[in-house]
Amino acid sequence: MLTEAVENYLKALYDLQQAASPVSTSALAERMGVAPASVTAMMKKLSSESPTLVKYISHRGAVLTDLGRKKALEVIRHHRLIELYLHQQLGYSWDEVHDEAEKLEHFISETFEERIAELLGDPQFDPHGDPIPTKDGRLPKINLVPLSNAKERQVVRVARVADQDADLLRYLEGLGIKPNVTLRIVEKSPFDGPLYVVLAEEPDGERHGLGKSVTDNIDVEILPAAGAAGAS
Residues 142-197: pLDDT tens digits?
789 999 999 999 999 999 998 788 999 999 999 999 999 999 999 999 998 999 99
Q: Reduced to 3 states, what is the DSSP secondary structure of residue 22?
A: coil
Quick check: helix, strand or coil at residue 133?
coil
pLDDT band for position 226 (cuts 50, 70, 90)? low
Q: Is 192 left (phi over 0), alpha (psi -120 to 50) or beta?
A: left
Residues 6+ apart with CB under 8 A from 232: none
User: Do 180 and 158 meet the contact criterion of CB atoms below 8 Å apart?
Assistant: yes
Element holding 110 (H helix, E strand): helix 110-119
Distances (CA, A) of 56 to 52, 96, 199, 205: 10, 35, 46, 53
220: helix, strand or coil: strand
Average pLDDT, the chain: 93
Q: How would residue 129 be classed by pLDDT, with cut points 50, 70 and 90?
A: very high
